[in-house]
Amino acid sequence: MGKKRIVVDTNNLISALGWRGNSRKLFENIVEGKAYWFASLKQVDELKRVLDYPRFGFSQEQKTRFLELVFETAVLVDSKTRLDAVKDDPSDNIILECAVDCGADFVISGDSHLLKLKEFNGIGIVKVAEFLEKHL
C-alpha cells in the first residue's frame, strides 16, 4: 500500500495540539513518519495566526514546539496553483492548491466546505477518522 501523500487542514492541526482525539493520533502518525505530509507556506502562515487566537489559550512554549514539529515533519510547498473551487469559503482553496501542487492522495479535513466535495482532481477528501481507519 505504501505511505500516502497527505495535506492536513489547519483545523485538524489546531485540534492535534489542543485536544486528545483522532487529530492528535493522526499528527502522532505523521511525526512517526507513517505518511508524507505536505503544507503550503500560506497554510503555515494561517496556522501561526490561528495558534495566537486567545480562545485557544496555547502557551508560547506550546506554539513554538508545535511549529518546530511542523517544520521538522512537513514538506513545505510554495503553491503556484490558484483555485476557485470552494465558493462558500474561498480561504479553503489554499488546502486544495497545496494538494494539487504536491500530488496528494488525500486532504484530511473536518471542514464541511471541503468534505462536501468528497474529491478534487482525483484527491480524496476525508475526515481524520476515515483516514486513520482505512489508510494508515
Mean pLDDT of 56-76: 96
* Bridge partners of residue 125, in order along the sequence: 107
Determine the Cα–Cα distance for residues 28 and 97; give it in Å rounded to an integer: 24
Q: What is the pLDDT of residues 11-36, one digit of tens each?
A: 999 999 999 999 999 999 999 999 99
For residue 87, count other CB atoms closer than 10 A to its CB: 9
- Domain housing 105: 5-135
Q: What is the pLDDT of residue 114?
A: 95
**pLDDT, the chain, mean:** 95
Cell of 85: 473551487
Which among 50, 90, 53, 89 has a CA at the least distance from the CA of 67? 50
- In this prediction, residue 87 carries a pLDDT of 84
Q: Using the predicted structure, report yes or no on whether residue 1 has a pLDDT greater than 70.
A: no
Instruction: Provide the b/e sequence for 98-128 (b: ≥16 CB within 10 Å).
Output: bbbbbebbbbbbebebbeebeebeebbbbbb
How many C-alpha atoms does 21 have within 13 Å on its Cβ side?
13
pTM tops 0.85: yes
Please determine, for residue 64, whether its predicted confidence score (pLDDT) is greater than 80. Answer: yes
pLDDT reading at 132 higher than 90: yes
- Pull the grid cell for residue 26: 493522526
Three cell numbers, residue 2 = 505504501
Q: Is the predicted pLDDT of residue 2 greater than 90, yes or no?
A: no
Number of domains in the chain: 1
Q: Cα–Cα–Cα angle for 58, 62, 63, nearest 5°?
A: 80
Give the whole-angstrom CA distance, residue 24 versus residue 16: 4
- How far apart, in whole angstroms, are the C-alpha atoms of residue 75 and residue 14? 18
Please give the pLDDT value at position 89.
Answer: 85
| CATH code assigned at 98 | 3.40.50.1010
* pLDDT per residue as tens digits for the range 81-98: 999 888 888 889 999 999
